[in-house]
Structure 1
Amino acid sequence: MQPIKEMMRVVDNVRDGDFHQKVHVLSNDELGDLGDGMNEMTEGLIERDQMRQSLYLAKEVQQALLPRAVPNIKGLDIASTSVYCDETGGDYYDFFISDKPDASRISVVIGDVSGHGISSALLMTTARAFLRQRSAQPGKISAVVSDVNRLLCHDVADSGGFMTLFYLDIDRQNRKLHWVRAGHDPAVFYDPRAATIEELRGSGMAMGIDADHAYEQYSKEDLAPGQIVLLGTDGIWEAQNPRGHMFGKDTIYRIIRQYSDTDAKGLLTACLYALDKFRDGVKPEDDVTLVVIKITP
């Protein structure tokens, strides 16, 4: 019975989180085979624990790279969130603001990297660095996205990785929106004056595919208080309920109309609440990122 006691000792220690225990059984019978199997199991648990710790660290680093707070800018009410479905995610968003005291422009970017896990997290981190560096330099946002795409193509060559992006620039002084769409879902624009909803569309392939692709800039004039811009990733409208039905963009449109009188945070909360209720316990298969911008007086 001594070998069995030895195995129970190791099992108790492993249960308490000590994966470095070994079974010392010298027999060549079935108990010996069982002891060898337990030792292989604990080695596998060590590797899994190390991987779990690595993923946790990667998640901490990646979350730290997302905005810690929304910018406080006169004339704009902003709310945002990003929820990953795995330890690490491929969704990304950021705000770029000039450090000049009289700056009247703010850029908002949202992106979705292909895949999940460490590789997508690394690509997201690389894209963030490129975007921040290039956005701090002069030039139209179409040039910014084209330059970053060229860098990404060189970085992801032969890996198959790519990233969709929506780059929005808000010019408060001239009451204009400018945007570039790089394969990402269009932003949603709501105008309360006529209760109309439109998508901010435009051509442009995902980044990281064609280094020579020239992106186009699109514009919209006559910004007015009460108007809403919503940027999101497909983890929202492609979310499914237990019956396999998708949440859909029409649901988002209804929520925008219903909560258009609330602030940006209230609208964002309403979207997330409706999404959670719709899922009805179904585990999300994709990250969810949402940015709500409301034009204020």
Structure 2
Amino acid sequence: YFDVRVLQRDRVCIIIGDVTGHGVGSALVMAMAKAVVYQGLKEDRGLIEIFEDLNQTIYTYFHLPPVRKMITVFAAMIELPSGRGSFVNAGHNFPVQVVGNSTCIDLAAVHLPIGAVSRLRGMQLHEFTIAPEDYLVFYTDGLIEVVNSQKDMYSYERFKDFLVSLSAVDADQIAQRLVEEYDKWLGNNEPDDDLTIVVLKRLKADA
């Protein structure tokens, strides 16, 4: 699940999530998550408050076997004029901020996934700034956990090394290169998981 919403006051919100399991149950969790997040953003609620509402919804309907489901979710809110942003994370892989095409910074925050417990405790709002020409890469674990024919996992470190190796290109090209790298590593194997990649780049014209 992912969503990108352009909001009032020149803000954009990026959300990415990954539901446990597959099938109809997981699809229902994803649909409910999207609806809760959409309503929260429409009401101009804060990210932590939206996550609390989302956790209550998912836990209420999906915390008991045999239908128990959880969802990892990361959300970032960015002010377009300044590039200042904030984020919260509920168990999702850390997105990466690539600075100056040479340095990778983790947007790191650790918390249990949505739906794991009845109430979220200790969730914090973290801040960051994206400068012109920097970009953010959001992804699901299918990207870094893909296994090649030698049973080697692609890994988070290999992923960051690849990002640094990319020349200055636009967001679409970065996403395409990542998909090509994924396919190359996967080879003739069948993927064990699905894959989502979202790339956001701040242009010089926005500075």
Q: TM-score, length-normalised on structure 1?
A: 0.65
**For residues 276 and 175 of structure 1, what CA distance do their matches in structure 2 show?**
32
Question: Which SS does the other structure have where 1:148 is aligned?
Answer: helix
Give CA-to-partner distance per residue, 1:171-225, whole Å, 9 cap, x none. Answer: 12332121100000111111117x221111112210012232132110013x311
**For residues 292 and 143 of structure 1, what CA distance do their matches in structure 2 show?**
25
**Is it true that 1:254 corresponds to 2:161 in the alignment?**
yes
Question: Which SS does the other structure have where 1:167 is aligned?
Answer: strand
**Is it true that 1:97 corresponds to 2:6 in the alignment?**
yes
Which residue in the other structure is 1:157 paired with? 63
Q: Structure 1's 257 and 208: CA in aligned 2 closer, same or farther, altered over 3 A?
A: same
Structure 2 residue runs of 5 or longer lacking an equivalent are none
The farther-off stretch of 151-160 and 116-125 is 151-160
Instruction: Check the 8 A contact 1:204/1:216 in 2, yes or no.
Output: no
Question: Which SS does the other structure have where 1:190 is aligned?
Answer: strand
**Is it true that 1:134 corresponds to 2:43 in the alignment?**
no
Q: Report how far residue 165 of structure 1 moved.
A: 0.4
Instruction: Check the 8 A contact 1:237/1:246 in 2, yes or no.
Output: yes
The within-5 A match list for 1:76-115 is: 92-98=1-7, 100=8, 103-115=9-21
Question: Which SS does the other structure have where 2:196 is aligned?
Answer: strand
Structure 1 residue runs of 5 or longer lacking an equivalent are 1-91
**For residues 184 and 256 of structure 1, what CA distance do their matches in structure 2 show?**
19
**For residues 133 and 184 of structure 1, what CA distance do their matches in structure 2 show?**
21
Give CA-to-partner distance per residue, 1:229-256, whole Å, 9 cap, x none. Answer: 1000000100001110011122322222
Which residue in the other structure is 1:18 paired with? none
**For residues 118 and 147 of structure 1, what CA distance do their matches in structure 2 show?**
22
Which residue in the other structure is 2:78 paired with? 170
Could you list the structure 1 runs, at least 4 aligned residues long, displaced by more than 6 angstroms after superposition: none
**Is it true that 1:206 corresponds to 2:113 in the alignment?**
yes
**Count of matched residue positions in the alignment of Structure 1 and Structure 2:** 201
Larger helix fraction of residues = 1
Question: Which SS does the other structure have where 1:115 is aligned?
Answer: coil
**For residues 231 and 141 of structure 1, what CA distance do their matches in structure 2 show?**
17
Query: Which of 174, 189, 193 matches 1:282?
Result: 189
Question: Which SS does the other structure have where 1:149 is aligned?
Answer: helix
CA RMSD of aligned residues (A): 1.4
The structure whose Rg is larger is: 1
